[in-house]
């Protein structure tokens, strides 16, 4: 039981490049989330998927897209990376949306030059 | 808009001390409050979750309390150890999880 896994762990991009961050959970959770963590800002919600087949914007969605590929997997895509997207990205999941305990992956440290 | 504040931002104590970390929030309409631990360069580990109808939760040397009416939660760590050194985050669940910026704790031998 691996919990929430994320790939890659580290990534360096040049401005304008694109990439997809992958996330998978093996807890049969319905809801999944993408956060970014920046110094002094705490964690902020980018996008979430309350259930398979649905996605919604969080607090800071600009510059990102997501895909809920199936119940297990939720990917985050940067179409044209910008230095402002340098951050640590965390994926999380919970049994259901809103009231349940969230479990986090180990994070992806992204640097955009 | 829900805002979550954690005080102090950093804390350094000798081993063995009992600690209190504070978390305050501006809107009492929450589903639950969750405390996390984050080690440097790592993800978040859930420590305790208190449902809105509960007053406290305990796990080992950790005890978290919740006072919804005053918008406050405390995390009490008994007999602190160097292994407790980490950043502690609280988060309140409304329709989304809103995080505080954390308290960085260092426990020295």
**What pLDDT is stored for residue A55 in this prediction?**
96
CB distance from A107 to chain B under 8 Å? yes
Q: Is the pLDDT of residue B68 over 80?
A: yes
Record: contact A105-B43, CB cut-off 8 A = yes
**What pLDDT is stored for residue B91 in this prediction?**
95
E strands in chain A: 4-7, 10-13, 19-25, 31-38, 42-49, 56-57, 64-68, 74-78, 87-94, 102-104, 108-112
Residue B39 corresponds to which tokens in the numbers above?
A: 């080690």
CB distance from A102 to chain B under 8 Å? yes
How far is C-alpha B59 from the chain's CA centre? Answer: 13
Record: contact B96-A45, CB cut-off 8 A = yes
**What pLDDT is stored for residue A104 in this prediction?**
94
**What pLDDT is stored for residue A97 in this prediction?**
83
* Residue in B26, B31, B47 with CA at minimum distance from that of residue B93: B31
Residues of B in contact with A33 (CB under 8 A): 97
Record: contact B34-A103, CB cut-off 8 A = no
**What pLDDT is stored for residue A58 in this prediction?**
93
Q: Summarize pLDDT for B14-52 with one digit per residue, the tens.
A: 999 999 999 999 999 998 999 999 998 889 999 999 999
**What pLDDT is stored for residue B96 in this prediction?**
84
Please tell me whether the peptide bond between B40 and the residue prior to it is cis, using omega within 30 degrees of 0: no
Per-position DSSP letters for B20-72, written without gaps between them? EEEEEES----SEEEEEEE-TTS-EEEEEEEETT-SEEEETTEEEEEETTTTE
Interface contacts A/B by beta carbons within 8 Å: 51
**What pLDDT is stored for residue A40 in this prediction?**
79
Record: contact B99-A42, CB cut-off 8 A = yes
Q: Summarize pLDDT for B75-94 with one digit per residue, the tens.
A: 999 999 999 999 999 999 98
Is the separation of the CB atoms in B62 and B71 below 8 Å? no
CB distance from A50 to chain B under 8 Å? no
Record: contact B44-A99, CB cut-off 8 A = no
Residue whose pair of structure tokens reads 């087949």 in the numeric block: A53
Write out residues in chain A with pLDDT < 70, as ranges: 1, 99
**What pLDDT is stored for residue B65 in this prediction?**
97
């Amino acid at each position: 039981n691996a919990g929430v896994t994320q790939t890659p762990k580290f990534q360096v991009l040049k401005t304008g490049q694109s990439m997809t961050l992958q996330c998978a959970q093996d807890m049969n959770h319905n809801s999944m989330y993408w956060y970014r963590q920046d110094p002094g800002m705490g964690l902020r919600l980018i996008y979430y998927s309350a259930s398979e087949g649905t996605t919604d914007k969080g607090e800071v969605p600009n510059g990102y897209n997501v895909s809920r590929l199936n119940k297990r997997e939720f990917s985050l895509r940067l179409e044209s990376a910008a230095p402002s997207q340098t951050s640590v990205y965390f994926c999380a999941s919970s049994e259901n949306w809103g009231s349940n305990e969230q479990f986090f992956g180990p994070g992806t440290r992204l640097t955009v030059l | 808009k829900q805002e979550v504040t954690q005080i102090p931002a950093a804390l350094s104590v000798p081993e063995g001390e009992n600690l209190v970390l504070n978390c305050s929030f501006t809107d009492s309409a929450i589903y639950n409050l969750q405390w996390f631990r984050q080690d440097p360069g790592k993800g978040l580990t859930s420590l305790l979750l208190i449902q809105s109808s509960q007053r406290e939760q305990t796990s080992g040397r950790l005890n978290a309390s919740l006072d919804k009416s005053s918008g406050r939660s405390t995390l009490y760590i008994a007999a602190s150890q160097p292994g407790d050194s980490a950043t502690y985050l609280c988060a309140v669940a409304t329709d989304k999880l809103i995080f505080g910026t954390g308290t960085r704790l260092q426990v020295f031998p």
